Every structure is written in structure tokens, then in C-alpha cells.
Structure 1
Amino acid sequence: MNDQPPPPNPWVKNLLIWGGVFLVLLSVVSLFNARGEVAQQQLAYSDFRTKVNEGAVASVEVGENKITGKLKTGETFSTVTLPGDESLVPLLQDKGVKYEGKAPEQGNILVALLFNILPFVLLIALAFFAMRQLQKGGGAGGAMGFGKSKAKMLTEKQGRVTFADVAGIDEAREELEEIVDFLKDPHRFSKLGGQIPKGALLVGSPGTGKTLLARAIAGEAGVPFFTISGSDFVEMFVGVGASRVRDMFEQAKKNAPCIVFIDEIDAVGRHRGHGLGNSNDEREQTLNQLLVEMDGFEANEGIIIIAATNRPDVLDPALLRPGRFDRQVVVPLPDIEGREKILEVHMKKVPLAPDVEARTIARGTPGFSGADLANLVNEAALLAARRSKRLVARQEFEDAKDKVMMGSERRSMVMTDDEKKMTAYHEAGHALVSVFEPASDPIHKATIIPRGGALGMVVRLPERDRYSYHRDQMHAQLAVAMGGRVAEEIIFGHDKVSSGASSDIQQATSLARNMVTRWGMSDKLGPLQYEEQSEGYLGYGSSQRTMQSAETNKLIDAEIRSLVEGGHKRALDILKGNAEKLHQLAQALLEYETLTGEEIDELISTGKIDRPDAPKGKGVRPVPVRGSAIPKAGKRFTEAARSAHND
């Protein structure tokens, strides 16, 4: 971190300089004006004649309208003469006063002239200073610099990033390496009549590394790199955005070949013709100027425009045509290989313990972006620092992953024993259904420690990256989602079911709706789309039901209910047939609060958990089903379930 103070403002610096000049001039004028008058006594003319008659005056100097002299006591004086007084000279001769004439003082005239014209000089200097500020280029110092571009230029020495710093997005990097080759050796392409794409649009979810990839292109090519945000173009003043676009391209032409990177271009590049108001007109003028500069009458040779957005669906079609943004480079979420490489890049900055493996962490973080993985490594380092460790171990990465995926622990939250027991059976229901559903993802961890907004949770992770789901996997998801609600119904009774399953019900309903209306997985409705995504991309937007008849809508609702109730029945069958394991798992959660997937599998298979913190150092802790641990509301069913299971 740079602790040096920021550079002084040029406006303040110039103001201080001119203020100092003004004070110096004022001091000089004051000195000239007061010269010779410091020790003089001002006398009235009548008093002067009285002192002459009394013989108290030693000598005088008679000027045009002023008399200065010296008394016999050594004091000096001055007085103003009367016009046409011819009796003064005889009086001086009669009293023996030494007198002489005095020529007019030219210095006083100059001082008076300087004093009179000084205000005008200062006004002219101030106006000149203000005009310089108004005409000064750039947004850094000009008072009227709001029409100048806010693009910042990064040279090779400032924050240089190369492709070695970018990992996990190899396909996107390969598509952009051609731009780097062109900037290094343009003749290689031009001699065959080929032209490099004028623009590349990077499309991807937030945190996938679009900005980092653009900086790596500039770092590899070794050319100036201008960066600006799309929102920096638009202001409340009409015409400012277009002026900034023109100024940005003028700067780019002076530094060609170069790269201009516009981040979040959807702020200025949205469809034209939508909305009303001056702000929209200003944005459209800015977009029109951008279109002209990218591919207008004047060719911008050596200027490559790279933009980033996660909403390409809202961009104006004219912006995406060939000749402007010729290529759309998709920057996806990294797969397991990419996540491993990204983790290795970020792990170089922290001291690692020998038990840390990037591959293992990458396998447990599906769906994480590059920014998420960087945050994971940082959280692990912070946890190790809080625990006063010298190395970041695997446990810190596991705890950091739980924090990122499930939220921070809320151990200060006070829960009653009944609430803990309800949460334990709820999460045990989820876990048990997940274990006995063949198409379900493996359990990563189950906990009854409150995290985020949940009292407890069961986290499942796929064994590999998954890009699509099959019908059997979706039915398994429905059953797992309803497992917690079903466990509450079985153990505590119909009247004691809690509101803790609200998110599970929402998840199951949303999945069932997509199965029926978007993915064609309803036998009654067939492979038709009944809902479409409204203005969304990369997970954004919302579903909208298309115009359907009342009978079709009624059938859709009935199919959604049938799917959710089918998941409820599957969960009920599993938990009824494994009631003893449900109690064992719930008791283990009450005992340990958090169980890993391996411990859950071990408990279901052997009825024991092999854990180092078991009492008496035995290492193997049995988890029996004690009658006192079974809630009263569920005892009757539990006995029936056991007999049914034994049969």
C-alpha cells in the first residue's frame, strides 16, 4: 500500500502563487506610500507661521504646495502652503530661518500611478489565469474538463499483467492471442490481405476474469492500454458523452497501436429507441458517436476496442455487427481443470501446509468463478492468521469453503433444545434421502450450526462438473428437497411441522415448474415450451408464461403439484423404511453438530462414527438409538416403522 500523500491540486497551487504575488505588490505600494512620512509631524499652516514668529523653526524646504522643515528641537514637520501667499519668504528672512526650494517629486506620481492601476492589473491577471484553466485539456486539472475523456492509460510499467497471470479460461485466451500477434507483427497479417478484428466483446458471468484477460492482452502486446467504464461516458449534460468518446479516440490515435478497454459497455450500448427523457437521449447520442468512431468514414488503424459485459442481450445490434465488435468471446465459469490452475495462481501468494492440494479444493468448488476462488484463498489465509498459524492448512480451506458456500457460523444464536432437535431431524431427513437416492449428488457436509439465514443445511457436491441434468436426477432433487419436511411430519406429527422447509418447498416448486414448462418433462403436456426467459442472460432475468388457454394453465399447475407430491412420496417411502437410521443420524448431528459425507456414509453402514474426538480415546464412537432421544410424538410411528422394516 502506498502511504505517500497525494500530489497537490494544480488549481490550489496556482492560486497560492498568485496570492503571494498580490501580497508582495501590496507591500511594495505600502512602503512607497509611507516613505518619508514615518517620523514627520503634520502642522496647520497657522501653527507653522506661529512657530516661525517664535523662532522655533530651524530650516524649511518650500515645495509647490507643501512645506517640510525641521524645528530647533530636532523634530521634523510638514504643512500645506496657502496659494499665493507672498509674505512667507520675507517672514522667513526676518526670523533668520534657513529656507530653500524643492523640485516636484516624480516618485510620488509613479507610486500613485502604480497604486491606481494595480487593481486593473490584478483583474487582468485573474482573467488570464481563469482562461488558462478553462482551456486546459484533460479531466485532471481543467475546470471545464467534463467534456474530456476519463480514460486512464496503463503503460507497460504500470500494473503489467500477462497471460501467465490468467488461468482457467484457455479457450477465451486462445481466441484473443491473434490480437496480440497482430499488435506485435501487423505486417504478418496485412501482407496476405487480412485485417485484424477491430473489436472483441468479452461475455461472461461476473468474476470470470474479463477485465484481467483484457489487461493480459495489453501486457503481452506491450502497447498502451486505455481503460474506461461505460458509465463514465454518460452525464446529465447533453453532448458530454459524445465529446468524451471523441476525445478518447483522439488520445488513442496519438498512442496507436493501442487497446481501448470499455468495461460494462451495456451502460452505454443498450438498444436505442427505448424510453423517454433527456438522459436516454444523451445515452443514445453517446452510442451513436461510439458507432461512428468504431467504423465510420475515418478509419482508426491500430486501435483495437475490447469491451466486457454480462448482458449481451441488451446491446444494440449495430454495435455487434462485423466491423465493430467482430468477435464475441465467451468467458465461461472454469471447469475443474481451470479451477485447479486458478487456485495454483492464487496459492503462490500464501504459505501452504503440506496437506493442501489444489486438485482436492477444485473438486469441491463446482460453479466457482475466478473471483470466488481468489476470495476462498484469501479467507483461508485470514482464518490461519486469526488462529496464529504460520501455514495455511487444509482445515482453513475447508472452513473458508463452508463460510463462502453456506455463510458465517452464528454460534451466538440461542436455540432451545426442541429447536435443535427439530433442526437435527430436518437435516437428517435431507441427508438420508440423498444417500438412498441413486441419482442424487454425494453429500459434502451436514450441519445444524446456524449459517447465514439457515438454522442448518446439507451441502451436496457433484463428483464432476455438470452441464445438464437428467430426468432421474431431477426427481431425486425433488425427493431430497422434501426430505426435511417429511422427517418433521414423521417424527413430530402433522401439527408440529415448522416453517423451516419454506426454502425447500420453493426450490422444489421452481424445479418442477421448469420441468413442465421449459424442459418438456411432463408426459401429459409433452415436449413443448410453455414459459420463456424474459430479457435475461447468464442467469439473469425472469420466466414469463406465454399466452395459454385456461385449460392448459390448469393442467400445468396440476402437473407441477403432481411432481412435487411425487417427490414427497419418494422421501416418505425412504424415511419410513429407514427410521432407525434417521434417529441415528439425528442423534449424531445433535452430538457433533457437523458431519462430513464420509462420516454419514460410515454411520449409515456401521452405526458408528470413527472420529478422533470420541471420548475415552477409543476412536470409534457408537451412536445408539436411545428411547429417551425419540420425541414423544414419534414413538408410536417409530415402533411401527421398525416392525415394517424388519418384515
Structure 2
Amino acid sequence: MSEKKRSSRDPEDKESRGKNSTGKDSRGDGPSRETRGSGVWLVIIAVVVAVMLSATMFNNNEIQMPYPVLERLLEAHAEANTGGNQGENAGVPKVVVDSPSDPSEKWEFSDLQLVLLGENKITGTVMWRPLSAPGEVDDSENVPLQKSFWTIRDRNETQDARMDQLVSQSGVNWDNARPNTFLADNWFNLLMLAAIIAIGAIMLRRIGGVGSPMSFSRSRGKLHGQEDLSITFEDAAGIDEAVEEVREVVDFLKNSEKYQALGGRIPKGVLLVGPPGTGKTLLAKAIAGEAGVPFFSLSGSDFVEMFVGVGAARVRDMFQQATSRAPCIIFIDELDALGKSRSGSVVGGHDEREQTLNALLVEMDGFDSNNGVIVIAATNRPETLDPALLRPGRFDRQVLVDRPDVAGREAILKVHVKSVKLADEVDLRHIASITSGFVGADLANLVNEAALLAARANKNAVSTTEFDEAVDRVTAGLEKKNRVMNEDEKIRVAYHEAAHALVAAALPNTDPVHKVSIIPRGFAALGYTMQRPESERYLMTKLELESRMKVLLAGTLAEEMVMQDISTGAQNDLERCTEIARSMVMDYGMSRLGRINYRRSTGSAFLAGGGGNGHSTSYGEDTAKMIDKEVARIVEEALGQTRDILAQRREVLEAITQRLLEVEAIDNTELMRVIEETSAGPWLVPGTITEKPRAQIRKPENDLDTLKDAN
């Protein structure tokens, strides 16, 4: 199944939709090349400005002059101005002082040009040059430089009068205006502020590709045109019933006049419900591809943002865009992230998620309804949705996209193997029959795993062997041939798995054993017994549940009988067995307590285990004790019957274990061969399906020590 994609730089796509062909406009979900380029330029500009300011501020020629030195300069200028420095001493007024940093160095100040007087700070320019200690260096070639200076004085009437007198006598120009030194005093703070603004602008552009904070309120829905959607109903294999349900929506979009002439109205919304991986999103793409109308796609989490009110604004913007392009389709994947029920919320009505949900409810069927806009949503948790979303007028139609049956799995496999080179002996019907419970995503992964295994083995085509191994990988995990077990553990695992297979084969109402292995797989499985149903099953009888419990208990009982001890390897078996017994008592009414249901399931019907903790109970302590006793009774009865089966077929158990230790894995054919060669009479245990006398099995002669010696 291929999906055509066109370049985002195709001018025809931009002109036809006003956006690029991937559906990402300037408000899309990723920064464009222009946005990234502008961010780089901002960084470059910020660095250049910082370097220039640093060079300007750190390399200035301003010096600090002590206030007494300024008074002496003014006195020198006053003497020169009044003619007190005539004759051979005439010239530019000069003052020599000790350097503040080095007493051995002298500074010479001369030619005071200008003084600006503020309240406390005095600034101006002066001719300045450093002088070495007398007699050490000739300073005749040291040319004075003009420097800006500043000094601080203490304000009092005597000093002010003294300063006014010296300035007036010296003839130096001066002014009492306060100098504007804001830029010089605050350049570093301004530089840091500019850097923060530049970084913030870059981050805003990178978050969702927005150019301003106001762009957060715009929808992140991706618009797909007809050229982007090449998927049709033929690609949605294995879900024929769901396809038939949504064909009417497509026909309405194409021929709306036919329905409107009879007074019919277009459905407001279609909710696709089903387990994960069954093809809900694929079906939505097929609807858009068949209808030939604009298609907006987004996730329920795209509406939720860290800022309050953003989600509701995005909903309104999404429907505004959709209305302008009506008729069109809005597809919201994982609707439960947005539309969870409001009844269980402990937060007030101003919760961000509730505001977003309220906006969606109003847009779908409010005072101003949007005509020509169909909302298609997908979820695998319909029980968590708000009832207001599910009423007629909003999601008018709920379509179940269920797990495919054998024919559906075969159709899905045919779609996925189009690009895979298969061997001639591969029978897709057989592969579909051994993959009960697989959904479309599982089957796609199965085909890919089989192709990888064939390539690893340097084969020219994918054979049935690779498909069988791929099924084992998907269901049981990766094979760990390099894991080393000691001999006792290996024998224990062999007895454990052999007992599972023996009891499963002895009971008439269990699924056939497909494979038994003592090769570790997955995270913690040291061995496994794989059963596969012969046909699709939708109901379980009481006898079938009891038989399943016996198969689960067989492993730990075999360890107890042969090894005289039990191990922790039966933990998962015991958990599943106890849960079956508890369900028989509390859910199915299959116990002595009567046809009563003691717990109401609130979990999803599409999730494994019924939603985990999704149960509510309403009974007292006495009833709880009765339930626990009944569960224990059912498990104990299953233990006793399973112990009898293993005891009567001890020789077969030893033979299966011996074969497992030799080859490590056996299939159904090998298992039945060992059973037929070892059993001395009728094999099946009496049951309601086929009544047969108990098998007369002679007591085995070999024990654990004999088996160890044989190995």
C-alpha cells in the first residue's frame, strides 16, 4: 500500500490550496526553512551588536579624575587667564599628580577645555599623558592625548562658591545641565534584554512554526488535497462492514442533492471505534480519498496547550477554516485525549480541557451550526468520552472497526504482500488461520518480520517457514538460544511445558496445541506452549473455561509430582487461572452463588483484560468472603482433576519431556505422534462433547533420576 507524496515546493500545490503539498502552512506544526533562516540571522545580529558595544564601552578614553586635581587645574587656568603665568613660565596650564594605581608613575593633566556640571558628577575633556618617575625615562616624545574625564564632588555652599569662583576666573566654558549618560550606564542591561528578546522570538518560531504569540490560537490541522490522498476503500481490507457503514457519508458528499431533495441531512460526525491497530485512521483516509473533498487531519492532543484558552481558540479556528472550504472533512485522531467525560473532573469549569471540549460541542451542534463540515473521530476508549459528544446531532454514527476474521486477515495479508516476493508454497489462508486475534497492524508487522528473516537467511523468496517463525516472534518474543540454563532448570521447564501440552491434548474442549518449546523467548519466558483455535470463537462455555484453568495449572502440578517441589515459573499461570475463576463467579454467574453479576465493567471492551482496573463493585463484606471461598473452591476442584489427568498419563508426560529435552521444540504433529506411541488406551478425558472411558495407563517405570541418567 503506497501513498503518493508531492514536493512541498510544487507551485501548483501552493496555488491550488494556498499551502504546501504536505499540508503545512505558516501555521503548521513545524518551522519552515525561512523561519529557521531568520532565527540564524537574529543570532548573528545579536552577536555582532554585542561585540560592537563591548568594543565601544571597554575601549573608551574616559578616565576618573580626583576632584582636588580638577580644582588645581582650574587654579592653573585661572592663573594663566589673569596673567599670573607670564614670561618663561607662560604656556599651557599643567598639573602633575601621582597615578592612583602606581605611586612611582606620574600623570600630567593640561588644557582643560570644557566642564559640564551636574548635581554631583562633573564631566569634561582634558589633555592627559602618563609620566615615568623622574630621571628614569625621557618623556619628551610622550605626546598628550585628549581624554574625557569624570569626577564626583560633595555638594555644600562653600565648595559650590569655590567652584563658581575658579570657573569664572579660569575662563573655561561650563554648563549646569545634567548630562545624558543612560546608554553608557545601562548598555549591558540593554544588551541582555535584546538577547532575551531575540532568543524568545527564535523559540516562538520553533514551537509550532509560529511567528508571534498570538499564533498559538491558530489550529494545527493539516490540510490535505485530493492529490495527497491516494488511498481508497480497496486499500482498507478486512473491515468490509465498517466500509459499508461509511460509504453513505462519501455518497452524501458527492451527491448531496439526492438526499436533500428527500429532506435528509448530512451526518454531523462519524465516530470510529475499535481496538488499536484495526485501521481506523486508514479508513478515515480512505473516506477522504473517495469523497474528493478537502481533508483536515489532527490529533486530539493538538488542541491542548500550556496556555489557558488556547485549545478552545484552536477549535474555533479549525472550524472556521473548514467552513470556508465546505464541504470538507475534519479528522480528529485519539478523540479521548480531548473529549473525556466532564463528570469525574475535580477541577472547576475553567479547566483548560473542559473549555476545549465545550468549544468542540458548540462548533459541532451549537446555535450557529456549520453546514457541510463532517467530523470523523477515532478512539479505542469510547467509554471515557463525554455523553454530550455521543448524542445524535454531534456524532450521529458510531462505526465499529473490529478485529478481522479469517477472511479479513487473508485480505489484509494480500494487501501487505504486494511488494514482497513469496515462495510458491506460501498459503495466505493458512497464515490467516494461525494468526487469530491479529489486527491489521500486527499483520503488517508479521509480513515485515518474515521478509527480514528471509533476507537474513539469504533466501530469494519468503517461505512458510519464515512466516511461522515471524508468528512466534510476534506472539512470544525473540528467541534466546544463547541463554544457558543449568540441567535441573532445563528439566523442570521441560516437565512444566510438557504438562501444559499433555492436558491441552487430553481435554476435548481446548484449542489444539500448535507448538511446545523450552527455548527461552521474550523477557522472562523460559519455555512456552502455544495453542491456536481452529476457528473464530466469540463465546466461552463453562466447561471451556474450566479446561483452560486445568491447562494453566498443569505445569506447577507436574513440577510438584516429579520434582517434589514447585518453582516461581508458574506465577503467570496462577494469575490467569485465578482471574478466570474470579470472572466465573463475579461476571458470568458460573458458580454456586447463582446467576448474579457482582461487578460492573467500566473498562474498554476493546482493550485486553477489559480495561485493567476498570471495574466497580457494590457488595458487602460477607458477600466478598463468599466470593473468595467460591473462587478457591473452583481452583481446588480444577487442581484435583488436573492431578488425576497427569497421574493417569504419567508415562506420556515422561515421553513428551524426553522428546523436548532432545529437540527443544516440537509441533502438533510430533506431539500427537508421541502421544499415540505412548498411550495404552483411549486418550480423551470424558467431557460433555465426547463421552469416552478413562484411559488405562500403566504406571511409568522411569523416574527423574533415570531421566537425568538418560541425558
TM range, smaller chain: 0.7 to 0.9
Partner Cα separation in structure 2 for residue 280 and residue 411 of structure 1: 57
Q: Is residue 491–residue 634 contact of structure 1 (8 Å, CA) maintained in 2?
A: no
1:304 counterpart (366, 374, 384): 374
Query: What runs of 5+ residues in structure 1 fail to find an aligned partner?
Result: 24-128, 609-624, 636-647
- Counterpart position of 1:11: 35
> Aligned letter for 1:9?
R
- Counterpart position of 1:556: 627
Q: Is residue 210–residue 216 contact of structure 2 (8 Å, CA) maintained in 1?
A: no
> Aligned letter for 1:425?
Y
2:462 counterpart (351, 369, 392): 392
- Counterpart position of 1:519: 588
Partner Cα separation in structure 2 for residue 205 and residue 298 of structure 1: 34
2:211 counterpart (137, 142, 147): 142
1:540 counterpart (611, 614, 619): 611
Matched residue SS, 2:462: coil
Query: Residue 630 in 1 paired to residue 630 in 2?
Result: no
Partner Cα separation in structure 2 for residue 440 and residue 326 of structure 1: 42
Deviation at 1:414, TM superposition (A): 1.2
Partner Cα separation in structure 2 for residue 18 and residue 564 of structure 1: 72
Q: Say which is worse superposed, 235-244 or 537-546, in terms of deviation.
A: 537-546
> Aligned letter for 2:513?
I
Superposed structure 1 runs of 4+ greater than 6 Å apart: 1-7, 15-23, 132-136
Change (3 A) 1:568 1:554: same
Change (3 A) 1:633 1:484: farther
Superposed CA offset, 1:222-276 (max 9, x none): 1111101001101121110011011111111222211100001111111125334
> Aligned letter for 1:184?
K
Query: Residue 531 in 1 paired to residue 618 in 2?
Result: no
State how many pairs are aligned. Answer: 518
> Aligned letter for 2:570?
A
- Counterpart position of 1:462: 533
- Counterpart position of 1:415: 485
- Counterpart position of 2:514: 444
Partner Cα separation in structure 2 for residue 270 and residue 22 of structure 1: 46
2:552 counterpart (467, 474, 481): 481
Query: Residue 336 in 1 paired to residue 406 in 2?
Result: yes
Deviation at 1:154, TM superposition (A): 1.6
Q: Is residue 432–residue 582 contact of structure 1 (8 Å, CA) maintained in 2?
A: yes
Partner Cα separation in structure 2 for residue 560 and residue 550 of structure 1: 15
Q: Is residue 656–residue 671 contact of structure 2 (8 Å, CA) maintained in 1?
A: yes
Superposed CA offset, 1:130-162 (max 9, x none): 9x99999x9544232211100011222224211
Q: Is residue 295–residue 323 contact of structure 1 (8 Å, CA) maintained in 2?
A: yes
- Counterpart position of 1:360: 430
Q: Is residue 149–residue 244 contact of structure 1 (8 Å, CA) maintained in 2?
A: yes
Matched residue SS, 2:595: coil
Percent identity over paired residues = 49
Partner Cα separation in structure 2 for residue 463 and residue 415 of structure 1: 34
Q: Is residue 425–residue 487 contact of structure 1 (8 Å, CA) maintained in 2?
A: yes
Partner Cα separation in structure 1 for residue 672 and residue 435 of structure 2: 21
Deviation at 1:487, TM superposition (A): 1.1
- Counterpart position of 2:689: none
- Counterpart position of 2:280: 210
- Counterpart position of 2:575: 506
- Counterpart position of 2:19: none
Q: Is residue 234–residue 283 contact of structure 1 (8 Å, CA) maintained in 2?
A: yes
Q: Is residue 249–residue 293 contact of structure 1 (8 Å, CA) maintained in 2?
A: yes
Partner Cα separation in structure 2 for residue 244 and residue 366 of structure 1: 42
Q: Is residue 481–residue 508 contact of structure 1 (8 Å, CA) maintained in 2?
A: yes
Partner Cα separation in structure 1 for residue 702 and residue 217 of structure 2: 74
Superposed CA offset, 1:308-349 (max 9, x none): 111111111111111110011111111111111111111112
> Aligned letter for 1:579?
R
Partner Cα separation in structure 2 for residue 420 and residue 379 of structure 1: 29
Partner Cα separation in structure 2 for residue 499 and residue 465 of structure 1: 33
Matched residue SS, 2:600: strand
Change (3 A) 1:4 1:580: farther
Partner Cα separation in structure 1 for residue 502 and residue 204 of structure 2: 74
Matched residue SS, 1:157: helix
Change (3 A) 1:22 1:430: closer
Deviation at 1:606, TM superposition (A): 2.5
Matched residue SS, 2:330: strand
Change (3 A) 1:271 1:491: same
Deviation at 1:535, TM superposition (A): 4.3
The CA RMSD measured in Å over matched residues stands at: 3.6
Q: Is residue 225–residue 294 contact of structure 2 (8 Å, CA) maintained in 1?
A: yes
Partner Cα separation in structure 1 for residue 282 and residue 492 of structure 2: 47
- Counterpart position of 1:577: 648
Q: Is residue 165–residue 345 contact of structure 1 (8 Å, CA) maintained in 2?
A: yes
Partner Cα separation in structure 1 for residue 311 and residue 601 of structure 2: 33
Query: What runs of 5+ residues in structure 2 fail to find an aligned partner?
Result: 10-29, 48-197, 680-697
Partner Cα separation in structure 2 for residue 193 and residue 501 of structure 1: 64
Change (3 A) 1:568 1:22: closer
Deviation at 1:553, TM superposition (A): 2.1
Deviation at 1:599, TM superposition (A): 1.3
1:371 counterpart (441, 455, 459): 441
Deviation at 1:3, TM superposition (A): 12
- Counterpart position of 2:307: 237
Q: Is residue 602–residue 616 contact of structure 2 (8 Å, CA) maintained in 1?
A: no
1:120-159 equivalences in 2 (<5 Å): 140-144=209-213, 145-159=215-229
Deviation at 1:531, TM superposition (A): 2.0
Partner Cα separation in structure 2 for residue 549 and residue 633 of structure 1: 54
- Counterpart position of 1:51: none
Change (3 A) 1:140 1:528: same
Change (3 A) 1:476 1:14: closer
1:287 counterpart (357, 373, 381): 357
- Counterpart position of 1:270: 340
Matched residue SS, 1:512: helix
Q: Is residue 531–residue 543 contact of structure 1 (8 Å, CA) maintained in 2?
A: no
Change (3 A) 1:578 1:192: same
Q: Say which is worse superposed, 542-551 or 143-152, in terms of deviation.
A: 542-551
Superposed CA offset, 1:562-598 (max 9, x none): 1111111121111111111111100110111111112
Matched residue SS, 2:326: coil
Matched residue SS, 1:274: coil
Deviation at 1:500, TM superposition (A): 1.2
Deviation at 1:440, TM superposition (A): 1.0
Matched residue SS, 2:234: helix
Q: Is residue 133–residue 143 contact of structure 1 (8 Å, CA) maintained in 2?
A: no
Partner Cα separation in structure 2 for residue 409 and residue 534 of structure 1: 37
Deviation at 1:185, TM superposition (A): 1.1
Change (3 A) 1:295 1:387: same
Q: Is residue 492–residue 634 contact of structure 1 (8 Å, CA) maintained in 2?
A: no
- Counterpart position of 1:429: 499
Partner Cα separation in structure 2 for residue 533 and residue 20 of structure 1: 61
Superposed CA offset, 1:51-105 (max 9, x none): xxxxxxxxxxxxxxxxxxxxxxxxxxxxxxxxxxxxxxxxxxxxxxxxxxxxxxx
